Amino acid sequence: MVSEMCMFQVLQLNTNNCDNWSIKTNDLVGSQDVWEVVKKGYKKPQDETTLSPNQRDILKDMRKRDMIALTVIHQAMNGGTFEKISNATTSKEV
């Protein structure tokens, strides 16, 4: 299986670029088709064994989208800011 990875230059947040950072990060998250999971989040089931195969597929897709969004957000943070958000486990928590 071949995976395609697209690399982006991500602007890191600092005290002088908040507006530009916000626009560029929103654009990048949107371009990866993960904005909805950042905005709304997703429900983590108590017991995955009770899910139907379709529900498992949906959950897997939501987790993947969330991880993509979280990765973009992490990459867009400088060291000090990253430390403040590093305990978040979902993109919505950030």
pLDDT given for residue 9 in this prediction: 81
Q: Is residue 75 part of a domain?
A: yes
Instruction: Examine residue 49 and state whether it is found in any structural domain, yes or no.
Output: yes
Instruction: Write the CA distances from 70 to 8, 16, 20, 21, 53, integer angstroms.
Output: 15, 23, 19, 16, 26
Give per-residue pLDDT as tens, 7-42.
678 899 998 999 999 999 999 999 999 999 999 999
Domain count, the chain: 1
Instruction: Tell me which residue range forms the domain holding 78.
Output: 18-85
Any domain includes 40? yes
pLDDT over threshold 50, residue 1: no
Predicted confidence (pLDDT) per residue in 40-84, tens digit: 999 889 999 999 999 999 999 999 999 999 999 999 999 899 999
54 part of a folded domain: yes
pTM > 0.75 = yes
- Is 69 among the domain residues? yes
Q: Which residues pair with 77 in a beta bridge?
A: 13
Whether residue 37 is contained in a domain is answered as yes
